Amino acid sequence: MSWRLWLKSKPKSVNLGFYGEVNAGKTTLANKIGLDWAEQEVGIVSEIPHETRDIQKLEKVNFSANGTKLDLTLIDMPGIATSVNPKEFMKHGLSASEAMQRAKEATRGIIEAIKYLEQVDVALVIIDASKSPFDQVNFTIIGNLEHQKKPFILVPNKIDLIEADVRLVRDAFSQYPVVPVSAIQGDGIDELYDKIAELAKRVRR
């Protein structure tokens, strides 16, 4: 095979970043994608906010959808927040010192996640569809992705919950690609895979 052909048949490598508010289900979705394509999870899921405090990567994920083959690196980010209050964690049963430790790690994690944005090729912005989507954090993330010309998909998650209101998210973000999912139950995941394959075509290598 000529090197040209080889280059063409080689799956494109794409850094897929998971961004969003704290607790939106970023890690749950990253795990789902990791299990589907590499039989591996990416990180730990918890109902306690700021569970992910270090960037977690899963490399060499051989992904394929709609005839597009990709060599994905899943990059699960700490959730982005504008405040971190240790008292919040104590409500979840953490001791004062555990809460303080978690809070310190959370602030550092947020800074890391923001820095890493530059290295992401395609971003998934995970939104908890059972909550109001009008949190400033979502708009700030989207504004930065647009500014840096990164392709991204808005992913309203937790659509299995009765409180989930996908229409509200669609209305608020009408000019962007929106693919609702339940990361836990897998609803919408094939549509998401098709969209990832589509946006990956725009990534330059």
Partner 1 sequence: MKYRVDFVPYSETNDLTDDEKIRYILSKVMRNTILVLENGLTPTEEMNLISKTMVKINFNDFVGLRFFSFDGGTDFKLNKLFGRGSKNKVFTVVAPNEAVTVQKDKRGILSIRIND
Taking CB under 6 A as the rule, does residue 56 contact ligand GTP? no
Give whichever of 33 and 178 is closer to partner 1, judged by the CB atom.
178
CB atoms closer than 10 angstroms to residue 109: 23
CB of 7 to partner 1, least distance (A): 34
In terms of DSSP bridges, do strands 12-20 and 122-128 run parallel, antiparallel, or are they unpaired? Answer: parallel
If one asks whether residue 52 binds Mg ion (CB under 5 A), the answer comes out as yes
Residue 40 or 148: the one with the smaller Cβ distance to partner 1 is 148
Name which of 38 and 114 has its Cβ closer to partner 1.
Answer: 114
The Cα angle at residue 36 between residues 19 and 174, in degrees rounded to 5: 40
CB hemisphere CA count around 155 (13 angstroms): 34
- DSSP single-letter state for residue 92: T
Report the distance separating Cα 105 and Cα 83, nearest Å: 13
163 is a contact residue toward ligand GTP (CB under 6 A): no
Nearest Cα residue to 29 out of 38, 39, 41: 41
Residues 57-116 that bind ligand GTP (CB under 6 A): 78-79
Instruction: Name residues contacting ligand GTP, limited to 181-200 (CB under 6 A).
Output: 182-184
Which parts of this chain interact with ligand GTP (CB under 6 A)?
22-28, 45-47, 49-52, 78-79, 157-158, 160-161, 182-184
Which parts of this chain interact with Mg ion (CB under 5 A)?
26-27, 51-52
